[in-house]
Structure 1
Amino acid sequence: MSWYDDRPWLKHYDHIAQPVAPPRTTTQMLSEAVASSPDGPAVNYLGATLTYRDVDELSDGIADYLCERGFRPGDRLGLYLQNVPQFVLAVFGAWKAGGVVVPLNPMYRDELVHIFADAEVTALVCGESEWADRVGLRAGEAGVRIVLTASELDLQTTDDPRLFAGRERIRSRGIADLLEVATSRAGRKIVDPGLHPGSVALVSYTSGTSGRSKGATNTHGNLTANGSNLRLLSRVPSGAPIFALAPLFHITGMVGQLLNAVDLASPLVLAYRFEPGVVLDVLRRERPAYMVGPSTAYMALMSHPAFSRDAFSSFRTVASGGAPLPPTVVERFRDATGLYLRNGYGLTESTAATSVVPLGGEAPVDPDSGTLSVGLPLPAALVRIVDEHRHDLGPGEIGEITVEGPMVVPAYWNLPDATSQSIPNGRLYTGDVGFMDADGWLYVVDRKKDMINASGFKVWPREVEDVLYQHPAVREAAVVGVPDDYRGETVAAFVSLRPGQAVEPEQVMSFCRERLAAYKAPRSVEVLEELPKTASGKILRREMR
């Protein structure tokens, strides 16, 4: 018996946070939303609205089309779209047909070759311009045999040049349009595929920081359990709009936005992709109550010339996930908007969040390292910190973070050895290093692979980055280890600046030397206009290496 088994974090939750309803399938979740609010808005997209009845009937049409063309329960459908209504229709259409969705980052190019082959993708839904530009050839070589395309120009009424300048419809010969198919077959029911909570709903590919990316098998039960967790913990009223700040293809967007909205029978507000000026306009117009996204998105919104406090006046709560959140950004955001930015932590393999900051509380900052807590484990989660021998560590001791609970995937797709290594007996070994205090607050120090060894001293990039964010000129920061003939590795920093600011690299290095041990302070600083990021907003340290 370990002290973790007592779950000290539960004392911080009230009765509203627990118990969580038994897992359902995602299609059951949609049916409940349709039954409770058939004519209520389900999707709002730049001036266009689809009701829950619309989503239900149009996704029926997509399921009918897929099944007619030989798509069978368990077959995989790749989904290569931005935040557009067709994403929602396609994902539920695939699930109604008993299929498994493979969400694809629209920035992928050659990565698609591995994923198409590894997941044995049968069907694909793709943006029509992306199909013509880069996806069609790769899909053909992989043997993808059912293709539907979609245009981001459909449904929306704004024609906003910040999003759509120079874009026009591109109809590929012999390829059906998803919206036309859905409309022509709307409401057609297919034979029940017999889904249950243990059925695989997604094969979500990890970012592949070392070697090829792996597919995590998120089940329907994983998805609905965590969707319900977030609904209960955010306390957003049924019907209140949720803005999709994170991309829907990312597990944070899929669970924290799409399924959270369906569970609430709320409208999901979409804006195609993240463009700060557009987002600020949409927030003022649609008045959402909740959103979740990476810290880099909040920084970009605060730095935009059109930023103003009134854009955030409708929110009940806002959350950050998918990228580290420096304490300085939390305070800047609160000063600018009056809202406390709630930190969280999760992985693809844990189907988004495993820890959050509950309403009514604030994440503590570790006094020794300056690290902001990523919150308390969810009531349904069991989080532990273990040493290199996988033995439990005590409060405050640093080790690897592990997670157990209904959000943890059962396996990696077709990788039994990786499953037995990283998810033995349902416990996920995350590869993240952190610690937990005696009250149950969890702190993430960094990724194991990102640790810098400078003359035998361990340097965690997050600790240095948190100091860089304290500099008044710094907007974004990333720290990596670079080869050094004398020290083995040394610390290199990359920063972008806040609007109207200028700073010399030596000034930044001096700022860090005043606040950090000498071996932790950057030996070089490079100022970039923008730091490279994933489509979900996570800063790419490997690009700077």
Structure 2
Amino acid sequence: MSVYDDRPWLAHYGEHQPAELVPQFPHALAMFEATVRRDPGGDAIRYFDGRLSFAELAALSDAFAVGLLERGFTPGERVALYLQNVPQYVIGLLGTWKAGGIAVNVNPMNRERELELLLRDSGATVLLTLEGLHRDVAAAVVGDTAVRTVLTTSELEYQTRGDARVFAGVERTGAADGAVDLAELLAAHRGQAPPPVSFTPGDTAVLTYTSGTTGPPKGAMNTHGNIVFNSQCYRHLCELGPDDVVLGVAPVFHITGLIGHVTVALLLGAPLVLTYRFEPSLVVDVIRAERPTFTVGAITVFIALLNAPNADRAAFASLRKIWSGGAPIPRSTIAAFEELTGTYIHNIYGLTETTSPSHGVPAHARAPVDEHSGAVSIGVPVSGTVARIVGDDGTELSPGEIGEVVISGPQVVEGYWNKPDETARAIPGGALHTGDVGYMDAEGWFYLVDRKKDQINASGYKVWPREVEDVLYEHPAVREAAVVGVPDDYRGETIKAFVSLRSGERVTEEELIAFARQRLAAYKIPRRVEFLDEIPKTVSGKLLRRELRERHATG
């Protein structure tokens, strides 16, 4: 019998979770429609001093859908959302669904080449973007794609505060030639409703592109069923309800922001607090003002908040439900954040292909820490999910044995957009092979070791970067650390650390190496340390070790 058949993690969860998570809605739009009926006057979005109720959000997204349909949009077509964390993202997402379409999430940091690649790959016929992004990026590439309609909007809409920390230099310009102003389109169709749509759980709702850390981005087909299931997983794992207030610190175009902020708020009927971009001191002020209760984001977000000049315990008094995913959590950071705020950071784990969480630490639990490596557990599988550890030959491994994490469950996507070969390779038989290496302990808690491709081979010794990074994080001067293997004539590979320091702190390369020498075996000690202002990361907080290796190679 498989060691996983007894599901030991259910002891941490409660025995009746899977039944409670039977999908209540046939598609993601139905979650929102139920909330509008239940609480039409409640705040749906808080954007600085602006407010949109659920009824207003319903009217605006209706108008968006009607405007698309009048311009020849047909069900199944794609709408690219090239936006920051602004209310227009939610309007566009819901409006796309109401028109029978598929939303395409686009990173607003993408430049011409990257944007054109995603527009071409998705075949998007509509682009909704900010005026500045259209002027500086999109205008140069949309003519060579399938895009027929360009809608532009301003980040200054839906608020009047205009905080200089994020809006400095931003001005409303209106739609450029060839584009349609979103505000004008919504006003023209206000009060109109599109014809009803009917989705199945298996219909694609959003194309969310992978971060491209292992190759060209691929469009994961997150279905309506995936979104409904994992929105409910967040609700249950994090013990959320309509009285909660969701703080949107993760980018909404990323799977964590989409599910952990936008769709869970639509499901709960909870206000979603958006701040355009993440600026630590501004976010601290917003937390003071809006009193959010829940958020989820990369650990780099909480490191930044911890070091914000206006951060103190009083500011974080309301924020009692915090989860972090996307990158390893150093236990020293968890401890420092709890010391400042009084709130424990729970771990959560998932991928674009699992539509956000596959594992998490339940609300009233604390993650165990591996006594040998110091790794903090990523949690237990969320309800209805089977996670296995497999060896290189595909056989299932016993507790304590290290192998690849393989995930099956209602949140796993059916595949990648127009990439059947990539789908067959990564998700054979519906089981996602994550590329993450880890193990499960005897009580069902899961731990990550590292990515397969990031293992360092120094003089024949295998070194996982995570273990070295966790030690460096223990030094009081270190803000962030990333470790890679670099070529070495003698060892084949040797260990190099890239480090950014806390504000006002100083430490030398020799001092950090000596610090590591006291805590690690000789073959795990970094031989080189390079100091950077910022460690390169994806928007989800994953370390871009590839860029660090390239930086070393180019001197």
Q: TM-score, normalised by structure 2?
A: 0.96
Report what 2:374 is aligned to: 370
1:100 aligns with 2:102: yes
| 1:23-42 to 2 correspondences below 5 Å | 24-42=26-44
Distance between the aligned counterparts of 2:179 and 2:300, measured in 1? 37
Query: Any idea what the Cα deviations from partners look like across 1:490-527, whole Å, max 9, x if unmatched?
Result: 11101111122100011001111111111111111111
- Code of the aligned partner of 1:282: V
1:279 maps to which of 272, 277, 283 = 283
Report what 1:45 is aligned to: 47
1:126 aligns with 2:129: yes
- Code of the aligned partner of 2:469: E
Give the unaligned 5+ runs of structure 2.
550-555
Report what 1:330 is aligned to: 334
1:175 aligns with 2:179: yes
1:146 aligns with 2:149: yes
Distance between the aligned counterparts of 1:191 and 1:158, measured in 2? 37
Report what 2:219 is aligned to: 215
The answer to whether the 8 A contact 2:370-2:377 is kept is yes
Q: Cα distance, 1:540 vs. partner?
A: 2.1
Report what 1:435 is aligned to: 439
Report what 2:494 is aligned to: 490
Q: Cα distance, 1:536 vs. partner?
A: 3.2
Q: Cα distance, 1:461 vs. partner?
A: 0.9
SS at the partner of 1:5? coil
The answer to whether the 8 A contact 1:86-1:179 is kept is no
Report what 1:471 is aligned to: 475
Distance between the aligned counterparts of 1:43 and 1:324, measured in 2? 30
The answer to whether the 8 A contact 2:297-2:326 is kept is yes
Q: Cα distance, 1:17 vs. partner?
A: 4.2
Query: Any idea what the Cα deviations from partners look like across 1:3-44, whole Å, max 9, x if unmatched?
Result: 112211111112674420315311101101101110000000
Distance between the aligned counterparts of 2:212 and 2:357, measured in 1? 20
Report what 1:56 is aligned to: 58
- Code of the aligned partner of 2:3: W
Query: Any idea what the Cα deviations from partners look like across 1:108-158, whole Å, max 9, x if unmatched?
Result: 112122211111111111111010001111122123111111110111121
Distance between the aligned counterparts of 2:479 and 2:485, measured in 1? 21
Distance between the aligned counterparts of 2:61 and 2:128, measured in 1? 13
| 1:40-439 to 2 correspondences below 5 Å | 40-109=42-111, 110-171=113-174, 172-439=176-443
Q: Cα distance, 1:398 vs. partner?
A: 0.4
- Code of the aligned partner of 2:162: D
Q: Cα distance, 1:373 vs. partner?
A: 0.3
- Code of the aligned partner of 1:107: M
Distance between the aligned counterparts of 2:239 and 2:187, measured in 1? 35
- Code of the aligned partner of 2:122: A
Of 18-27 and 255-264, the range deviating more from structure 2? 18-27
Off by >6 Å, runs of 4+ in structure 1: none
The answer to whether the 8 A contact 1:13-1:358 is kept is yes
Report what 2:5 is aligned to: 5
Distance between the aligned counterparts of 1:5 and 1:126, measured in 2? 48
Distance between the aligned counterparts of 1:240 and 1:92, measured in 2? 22
The answer to whether the 8 A contact 1:256-1:352 is kept is yes
Query: Any idea what the Cα deviations from partners look like across 1:153-179, whole Å, max 9, x if unmatched?
Result: 111121111111111112212311223
The answer to whether the 8 A contact 2:234-2:240 is kept is no
Report what 2:510 is aligned to: 506
Q: Cα distance, 1:183 vs. partner?
A: 3.0
Distance between the aligned counterparts of 2:182 and 2:295, measured in 1? 28
Report what 2:552 is aligned to: none
Q: Cα distance, 1:539 vs. partner?
A: 3.0
SS at the partner of 1:475? strand
Distance between the aligned counterparts of 1:29 and 1:290, measured in 2? 19
Distance between the aligned counterparts of 2:190 and 2:60, measured in 1? 5
Q: TM-score, normalised by structure 1?
A: 0.98
The answer to whether the 8 A contact 1:381-1:404 is kept is yes
Distance between the aligned counterparts of 2:546 and 2:78, measured in 1? 30
Distance between the aligned counterparts of 1:237 and 1:203, measured in 2? 28
- Code of the aligned partner of 2:102: V
SS at the partner of 1:343? strand
Identity %: 51
**Distance of aligned partners of 1:238 and 1:17 in 2 relative to their CA distance in 1, 3 Å threshold:** farther
Number of residue pairs matched by the alignment = 545
Give the unaligned 5+ runs of structure 1.
none
Distance between the aligned counterparts of 1:46 and 1:377, measured in 2? 36
SS at the partner of 1:121? coil
